[in-house]
Amino acid sequence: MNLQEQISRIQSMMGIISESRFFQRRAIPSEVSKNFLLFAEQVFHDTNSYGQFKYELVLKSLEHIMWQEYNLGWEDLPEQDEIEYVNAVAEIYNDEIKSLYNVLAFKD
């Protein structure tokens, strides 16, 4: 994938993220990604595939921010917005998440 395609992909994903205003106002993607290392190993052992790992890692990272910053648990969050936001952030950070997954898979 060339640079222009990557830029276009990120811009389109940012459009999806901006539609999910609840999370956009509370957790920017780069803040979510900072938690990946915190939860990567636990999520790796609790999942059975890369797709599940990617989704669960972003979900756990996002919910951690929501709890730490706003004292909101998963039951307090708008479910559909959360799903859309998690999928969008997972696509933005796909390469980083894939690297983490590969490192953990190699360790096992």
Q: What is the pLDDT of residues 72-93, one digit of tens each?
A: 888 888 888 889 899 999 999 9
Rounded mean pLDDT, 40-62: 96
- Tokens 């997972």 sit on residue: 90
Which pTM does this prediction carry?
A: 0.80
Residue 17: its pLDDT value, please? 47
| pLDDT classification of 104: cutoffs 50, 70, 90 | very high
- The tally of domains found in the chain comes to 1
What is the extent of the structural domain holding 80?
Answer: 3-107
- Contact assessment for residue 29 and residue 93, using Cβ atoms and an 8 Å cutoff: yes
The per-residue pLDDT for range 61-75, each reduced to its tens digit, is 999 999 999 898 888
| pLDDT classification of 8: cutoffs 50, 70, 90 | low
Structural element, H or E, at residue 95: helix 94-107
**Other CB atoms within 10 Å distance of the CB of residue 84:** 16
